[in-house]
Chain A
């Protein structure tokens, strides 16, 4: 019973709540959007996001310059670049699910029980979301 509680406690922090995860493999756009606000990206996803951002921005800059130069219009270059910046922001900034394909494997609760945390007198407050105080 206690183990079940721990399960739900841990999963509510790090994993999306069960109700959103659909039965079929593919998620609808709405579900993807909801997921964006619930989870942070994993490490591989962050690397991918940063790489994508740099590549997309530089690519759009080059294509904007070439377009503007060949068309002889400065305005055109700025418009293409602005569009590119907006697209890049939409793709790399929110937590899309494809950034979360290598989620971290947290320790099994039974494993954690075998290595109890040392008791400290006054723990320093942490900046991240406080780990749930589950009473032993």
Chain B
């Protein structure tokens, strides 16, 4: 015989299951969003470029980062984590990726921005290979949803070069 508690339990279980299903559907709906972001980074100044006591090269840059990531936001987006990484190769390492700056975009209104900053994280090499090095600057973003699958993508900007000598 179905008692009061049995029915209450059934309602609760079914409601929670259905909630999980609609969250999954909300996450699926994100797949129908095709973002069209733009970004541009300019190296305004090389502040200094030195060899550290432990033998590693380090450089400090001032950057101007401007981007428009508004098309990334859907109804299921909690925030977009964006960061700028310098990528280069060296004799010992086939790939080096160093994150220079990151930020969190909490909502669509803040998604179009242009900032002027020095690198938040130290640009240090494993070794002393940075003189005259050509590198790419890649703007990565991670879309963190309210529920479900996370998306990530990037824009690669090439053509940057470090100076030949220490400063």
Contact = CB atoms under 8 A, between A and B. Distances in A.
Direct contact between A and B judged by beta carbons closer than 8 A:
yes
Interface of A: 40-41, 46, 49-50, 53-54, 57-58, 61, 64-65, 68-69, 71-74, 77, 81, 85, 88-89, 92-95, 128
Contact of A74 (B2, B7, B146): B146
Contacts, number: 60
Contact of A58 (B1, B18, B25): B18
A53 B10 contact: yes
B14 A53 contact: yes
B15 A85 contact: yes
22 contacts: A40-B1, A50-B2, A50-B10, A53-B7, A53-B11, A57-B14, A57-B15, A57-B18, A58-B18, A61-B19, A61-B22, A65-B22, A69-B75, A71-B75, A72-B75, A73-B75, A74-B75, A77-B22, A85-B11, A89-B8, A89-B11, A92-B11
B63 interface: no
Contact of B26 (A58, A65, A85): A65
Contacts of B34: none
Given A40-B1, A41-B2, A49-B7, A69 B15 contact: no
B96 to A, nearest CB: 39
Interface of B: 1-4, 7-8, 10-11, 14-15, 18-19, 21-22, 25-26, 29, 74-76, 146
Contacts of A64: 22
A58 to B, nearest CB: 7
**Ranked 8 nearest A-B pairs via Cβ:** A72-B75, A85-B15, A46-B2, A61-B18, A93-B7, A74-B146, A65-B22, A93-B8
A47 B158 CA distance: 67
A20 B22 CA distance: 44
B7 to A, nearest CB: 5
Contacts of A57: 11, 14-15, 18
A63 to B, nearest CB: 11
B4 A93 contact: yes
A94 B1 CA distance: 14
Given A57-B15, A92-B11, A74 B3 contact: no
